[in-house]
Copies of this chain bind each other. A is one copy, B any other.
Amino acid sequence: MRDLASDLRHCAINTATLGFREPIEVVIDAVARTGFGAIAPWRREIEGHDIRAIARRVREAGLAVTGYCRSTYIPATDRAGFAANIEANRRAIDDAAVLGAGSFVLVVGGLPAGSKDISAARTQVAEGTALLHEHGKARGVRIALEPLHPVYAAERSCLSLLSEALDICDRIEGGAKDPWLGVCLDAYHVWWDPNLARDVARAAKRILGYHVCDWLVPTQDVLNDRGMMGDGIIDLRAIRSLVEDAGYDGFVEAEIFSTLNWWKRPIDETLAACRERFATAT
């Protein structure tokens, strides 16, 4: 297992951790100044801005871009809606290419309004992923399917299990591993999965990103009360060990939605806490 205490360059900051309160330029500089190796920006910070200038600033700060967050939800109530969602994602993939992102992160979406048919939503996700994989390959952007905790199945992600994400990859690749398609693992979403060890081993080099935060007990809000590494009950060392044993050598990325705590603090304080907890609790 790599030693995150001695080399913070293996660690990345997802900008969601800082609460989207500062312009992306300020965030880029703060992340680089604290010593991290990479950053994961969100579309809300990028779209409508000068993307080439942002990409240049990231490079000049000495940072890599891990994943570009995140997809427009795929399932829609009709084919026109589905096509529009795919098109929005194609444009975001084009931006990911400009940013030089390691991957484009697919948070796939839940049930379309009025639907109770999760199986139909999953069919749309599989079809959409195949289309986006094709576009990503053409643009040189890897597509990373991120399974979300089942608590989000209705509204954010009908893709819950790592095994499901790998099944989608298998079907699209037709048996041959394809470097342009894989998964993004987030400890918060998968820590509870009894098949995690089995499925991480199966994922192997398909793991394109690895996110960490912690599950607080009690948790006030399953969306926005995520904890700093070490403050909750996830055995983050055990999971990183599985992930690295499977062959993952990419960044370990902190992504902490925390309206109740970390988003209220100055960003340099949150970054310093991440630096410490990467070393002691991740």
Contact = CB atoms under 8 A, between A and B. Distances in A.
Nearest to A153: B192
B154 A215 contact: yes
A81 interface: no
Question: How many of these chains are in the complex?
Answer: 2
Interface stretch (A32-40, A42-50, A53-61, A115-123): A115-123
Interface string A82-111: 000000000000000000000000000001
A217 interface: yes
Contacts of A153: 191-192
Nearest to A214: B116
A222 interface: yes
Contact of A118 (B154, B164, B235): B235
A154 B194 contact: no
The secondary structure that dominates the A interface is loop
Nearest to A116: B235
A161 interface: yes
A238 B151 CA distance: 20
A266 interface: no
Chain A: number of interface residues, binned into ranges: 20 to 34
A179 interface: no
Contact of A154 (B115, B158, B161, B217): B217
Nearest to A157: B192
Given A115-B233, A118-B192, 12 more contacts: A111-B233, A116-B233, A116-B235, A117-B235, A122-B194, A151-B151, A154-B217, A154-B233, A158-B192, A160-B192, A160-B193, A161-B194
25 contacts: A111-B233, A115-B233, A116-B234, A116-B235, A116-B238, A118-B191, A118-B192, A149-B150, A149-B151, A150-B150, A150-B151, A150-B192, A150-B193, A151-B151, A151-B222, A153-B191, A153-B192, A154-B217, A154-B233, A155-B217, A155-B218, A158-B192, A160-B192, A161-B194, A164-B194
